Amino acid sequence: MSDNDAVPASLADLPDGLIQKMGIEVISVSADRAVGTMPVEGNTQPYGLLHGGASAVLAETLGSLAAMAHALESDPDGIAVGVDLSISHLASARTGTVTATATALRRGRTMAVYQVEISDESGAMIAAARLSCAIRSTSATRR
């Protein structure tokens, strides 16, 4: 991993929440690309398969972190907020760890769009998602 891909300090110490509860590990974040992993164990549906909602959380997490890095490039008070997520579940996973890679499709002033591919340990794609995030400034929204 290059220094450019290291998790930015502003994103490294996220408060405890869903990311931690689901065991998501953020490996690298930049405005162009983010990579992270999540264990299948503990994130399954009743039939023992990776839950589709867990895949959606992983996709939105990685896409949102990349969008946040994009927002921070032009505004130290920049934030990214997910506004649309579409995911297709292509295959199942029962064990191991899945890896998500979010890649920027469009990085605009007010909107960023990311393609997120989730793969199993063999490298087979199990889900494909597209996330749109609104780019805002917290300084503009404070009253």
pLDDT tens-digit series, residues 93-118: 999 999 999 999 999 999 999 999 99
- Which residues are within 8 A (CB) of 42 and not within 5 positions of it... i.e. 6 or more apart? 22, 23
> Mind listing the pLDDT tens digit for each residue in 74-94?
899 999 999 999 999 999 999
For the chain, the domain total comes to 1
> Mind listing the pLDDT tens digit for each residue in 41-79?
999 999 999 999 999 999 999 999 999 999 999 899 999
Return the active site residues.
Answer: 60
Spatial contact of 108 and 83, defined as CB atoms under 8 Å apart: no
The residue segments making up the domain with residue 112 are 3-141
Answer yes or no: is pLDDT of 143 > 80: no
- What's phi and psi for 139, nearest 5 deg? -65, -30
Q: How far apart are CA 98 and CA 96, in angstroms?
A: 7
Here the CATH number for the domain that contains residue 67 is 3.10.129.10
